[in-house]
Amino acid sequence: MSNTPNTPPVGDEIFLLKMGEMVLKGLNRRTFEERLMGNARRRLQKHGKFRITSRQSITYIEPKEASCDMEGAFETLRTLFGVVGLSRAKACEKTPEAILETAKTYLRDDLMEAATFKVESKRSDKTFPMTSIQLSQYVGGELNEAFPHIQADMHHPDVVVHVEVRDFAAYVHANPTPGAGGLPVGVGGKAVSLLSGGIDSPVASWMMAKRGVALEMVHFFSYPYTSPEAKEKVLELARLLTPWTGRLVVHVVPFTQIQEELRRSCPEALFTLLMRRFMMRIAEKVAQRVGAEGLVTGESLGQVASQTMQAMAVTGQVCTLPVFRPVVGMDKEEIIRTARKIGTFETSILPYEDCCTVFTPRHPKTRPHLDEIEAAEAALDIDGLIQAAVEGIERVVLDP
C-alpha cells in the first residue's frame, strides 16, 4: 500500500489520540486541533522526533526514528489536556488478512494473559469491503481459533481488540488508556494563578489548565517569617503541575514589608482581608504585565474565615479582571482527592508555613463591610507598597 506524505506508514507503532469535546466545536475546531498538536510537539521534544498529524477526530503521533522513547512519550501524552483517550497502536494494510495478522502478533501478550475478549471495529473508510460488524466477527472468530484458551465475552471482556479502518491505514490496539480530558492549554486564554503552599491552589490551577487556560503563577514570600524551604516547596508544587500545564513562570513577590506595615497600622481582626486585597492588587499588576485576562485563586466557600461570601466580595472588589475560583464549591475531601490524583498532595502537606499562616489574627473578621476595610486602608501608602513589591519580583521559569 502506498502512503500519502505526512501520514502514518503501515507497519509502524504509533500513538492514537482521541479528542473529546473539541469535536463539538464549529468553524474554529481546526484552531483547537492545531493547539493540541503544538502542545504535543513541544512536550515530546525530550523523547525524540515525532510526526504529528490530525484527521477525522484522531491525532496521529508517529516516531520518526528508532531511538524515540516510546514509553516516556506515552506517559507524557497521558497528561496532555484535550485528549480523552490514547492508545499505542500498530498500523497495517487495509485488508482483513493484514488486520488479523497484526492483531495476532501485536496483541499476542494481551491475548495470552486474558480469559475473555471481544473485538470492536470502526470503519471510517466506507470503501472497505466489510461492515464494522462483519470485520469484528471475522477477526474475533479467527482469534478464537488462534487462542483457544480465551472465550468471547461481549459484556465484560478482559481485553478489547480495537480495529479502526481509516483513510490511510488500519490500526489495531487494545484497551485505550484514559487521557487527561479537557481542552488544549492555551485555547482558553491566559490567567495568573495565586499559588500558596497549601492543598487548594495547585488543584485550582490544574482545573483551570484543564479548561484550556495558560497560566503564570504568583507566590507571596515573607522572608524571614517564611523560610527558604517554604519557597522551594511552592516551586516544587509548580514543577509538579508542569506535566499538565507545560512551561510555567512563577513570580515570587516579596511580601514582608506589606505584612509588617499591616501589623503596625491596621486592626488585627482585618489582617487577613487586607493582606488578601494586597495580593489581588499585585496579582492583577502581574497579569497586566504578562497579558493575562483573569486571576485564579484556590478559595473554597466557608473553608476559612477569609473565604466567606462577604470576605470574598471584599477581596475581589479591588480587581478589574475576572477572578476564577474553580474549587469554590468543593469540600476538602474532594480537593484532597484531586490533589492526590495530580501528584501535589504529598508536597502540599510538608510542614513549611507560608505567609498566609504567619500573620493569622486570633479573631479574624468573617463578615466584613467594605467601608471598614477602606477606612483601615486609608492609613496605608497602598500604591507605594504595591510598587515596591512589584519591583522586587523574582521570576522563576520551570519546564516540564
Rounded CA-CA distance 261/263 in Å is 5
Q: Which run of H or E residues covers position 63? A: strand 58-63
Q: Which parts of the chain register pLDDT below 70?
A: 1-11, 355-359
Q: How far is CA 93 from CA 24, 96, 140, in A?
A: 30, 9, 18
In whole angstroms, give the CA distance from residue 348 to residue 149: 48
Degrees to nearest 5, angle at CA 237 with 233 and 220: 65
Q: What pLDDT, on the 0 to 100 scale, is given for residue 6?
A: 45
Q: What is the CB neighbour count within 10 angstroms for residue 8? A: 24
Contacts of 345 (CB under 8 A, 6+ apart): 199, 336, 339
pTM of the model: 0.89
For residue 69, the 8-state DSSP code is: -
Residue 233 CA to residue 347 CA, distance in Å, equals 7
Residue of 92, 119, 99, 96 lying closest to 174 (CA atoms)? 119
CB contact at 8 A, 200 and 296:
no
Q: Kindly provide the residue ranges of all beta strands, DSSP E only, lying in 64-202, ordered along the sequence.
A: 83-92, 116-123, 151-152, 159-165, 170-173, 177-181, 190-194
Short-list 74, 107, 117, 90, CA closest to 13:
90
Residue 39 and residue 210 in contact, taking contact as beta carbons nearer than 8 Å: no
Whether residue 224 is preceded by a cis peptide bond, meaning omega within 30 degrees of 0, is: yes
From the list 205, 206, 213, 207, the residue with the least C-alpha distance to 184 is 213
Q: Say what the pLDDT of residue 57 is.
A: 81
Ramachandran region, residue 302 (left: φ > 0; alpha: ψ -120 to 50; beta: rest)? left
pLDDT at 34: 94
Phi, psi of 127 (to 5 degrees): -85, -10
User: Can you give the pLDDT at residue 107?
Assistant: 96
Question: Quick one: which H or E segment has residue 55?
Answer: strand 50-55
Our measurement of the distance from residue 270's CA atom to the centroid of its chain's CA atoms, rounded to an integer in Å, reads 35
Q: Tell me which residue of 207, 214, 216, 218 sits closest to 188, measured CA to CA.
A: 214
Cβ atoms of 253 and 223 within 8 Å: the answer is: no
Contacts (Cβ under 8 Å, ≥6 apart) of 354: 196, 197, 198, 220, 226, 230, 234
The rounded distance, in Å, linking the Cα atoms of 136 and 130 is 9
